[in-house]
Amino acid sequence: MSNFPIREIPQLRLRHPLGNLPSVRFLPQGCQIRVASSEDAEAISMVLTGSFEEPWTSESVLRRLLDDPGVPLTFVAEQDGKIVGTASYQVKTEPDPEAGWLHWVAIHPEARGLALGEIISHRVLQEAFNRKRSCVMLTTDDVRLAAIRTYLRLGFEPDMWHETHESRWAKVMQNLS
């Protein structure tokens, strides 16, 4: 989709101003969103591995999410008692120490189409709002059009911070229309 090799350019970034949170969709019957615990690490690793090109293990989930002090909360979406989605609330010092971050959003392929990505992302927005963050930021890849569509619907806006972003965002928007 891009003329730039993905590994050599920074990911796209979006920013949500948190002024007006969008209304949240109702959870489908049999679904719930809750805070993850260490007992969920294996199930979370399966969801992340199914959604991204890199393999995740229980240990990497613990190290990169559940035990990382920069990730105060990870949420899971359950459908009929099975974990089918995840999203984390992250804090960073750069580029905006007052921002919260939406981090590692993933929905198991079998649970897509239920708006769980939107619902769990909204839960992270609520958490950042409750913690009085200035905004919520996220990074994503140009090819993740379904995720980008969800983020835009939630009120995220493209953050043009790199010289390649204007042309890349133009292509993304063209592909979304």
In a domain, 119, yes or no: yes
pLDDT at 42: 98
Q: What is the C-alpha to C-alpha distance for residues 11 and 9, in angstroms, rounded to an integer?
A: 7
In a domain, 1, yes or no: no
Give how many domains the chain has, as a whole number.
1
Closest C-alpha among 29, 59, 30 to residue 45: 59
Q: What is the C-alpha to C-alpha distance for residues 119 and 114, in angstroms, rounded to an integer?
A: 9
Range of the domain at 12: 6-176
In a domain, 46, yes or no: yes
In a domain, 75, yes or no: yes
In a domain, 126, yes or no: yes
In a domain, 79, yes or no: yes
pLDDT at 25: 80
For residue range 114-125, list pLDDT tens digits in order.
999 999 999 999
CATH number for the domain harbouring residue 86: 3.40.630.30
SS3 state at 125: helix
Dihedral angle sign, alpha carbons of residues 54, 77, 125, 42: negative
pLDDT at 7: 55
Instruction: Please give the model's pTM, rounded to 2 decimal places.
Output: 0.91
pLDDT reading at 174 higher than 90: yes
Contact between 99 and 92 under an 8 Å Cβ cutoff? The reply is yes
Tokens 């769980």 sit at which residue?
Answer: 116
